[in-house]
């Protein structure tokens, strides 16, 4: 658990600092918000949905923390109005999503044709594993195991590709 959190946090901390820095003008206030957000992320880690983006989750918590601080202290050095902050959050999420899509396409291209075809049957054609097993003359268990392995390979490849970018 601790290792998984740390891995995700370290991978996204630069983007999180950039996001906070785009909203909070004063360096000391930026660092305070970053530290508070890091603590919240740690405390709430068990509630994080692992199928979602850690970066988007962290930025959402940061945006909420900044808005809360601004409401509590009108002198808090925020660069934008709340509506603008929401647009910036959406822009960060959109860029992250675009990187993920590009990385996924790259990783899919690296797979052998039979693996790509299996993934296309499942996710493009929306076939259930039983139908794929019938069509490919494999056992249902073999289809489940192969898809699980391919998803793991793609997840690792996407993470690696984004980290290298």
Query: Does 162 score more than 90 pLDDT?
Result: no
Q: Is 29 left (phi over 0), alpha (psi -120 to 50) or beta?
A: alpha
- Residue 45 lies inside a defined structural domain of this protein: yes
What pLDDT sits at residue 40? Answer: 94
Beta bridge pairs of residue 78: 24
Query: Does 98 score more than 70 pLDDT?
Result: no
Question: Helices 27-44 and 54-72 sit at what angle, rounded to 10 degrees?
Answer: 120
144 is in which domain, residue-wise?
111-165
Query: Does 94 score more than 70 pLDDT?
Result: no
Whether residues 24 and 81 share a domain: the answer is yes
Candidates 60, 12, 20; CA nearest to 162 is 12
Number of domains in the chain: 2
Which CATH number covers residue 49? Answer: 1.10.1740
Task: Give SS3 for 24.
Answer: strand
- Residue 67 lies inside a defined structural domain of this protein: yes
């Amino acid at each position: 658990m601790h290792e998984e959190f740390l891995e995700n946090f370290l991978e996204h901390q630069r983007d999180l600092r950039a996001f906070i820095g785009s909203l909070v003008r004063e360096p000391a206030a930026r660092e305070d918000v970053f530290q508070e957000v890091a603590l919240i992320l740690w405390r709430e880690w068990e509630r994080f949905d692992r199928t979602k983006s850690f970066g988007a989750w962290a930025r959402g918590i940061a945006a909420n923390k900044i808005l809360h601080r601004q409401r509590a202290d009108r002198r808090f050095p925020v660069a934008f109005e709340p509506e603008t902050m929401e647009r910036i959050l959406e822009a960060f999420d959109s860029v992250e999503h675009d990187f993920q899509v590009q990385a996924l396409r790259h990783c899919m291209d690296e797979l052998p044709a039979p693996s790509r075809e299996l993934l296309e049957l499942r996710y493009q054609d929306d076939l259930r594993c039983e139908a794929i097993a019938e069509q490919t003359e494999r056992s249902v268990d073999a289809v489940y195991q192969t898809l699980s392995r391919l998803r793991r390979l793609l997840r690792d490849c996407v993470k690696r590709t984004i980290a290298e970018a």
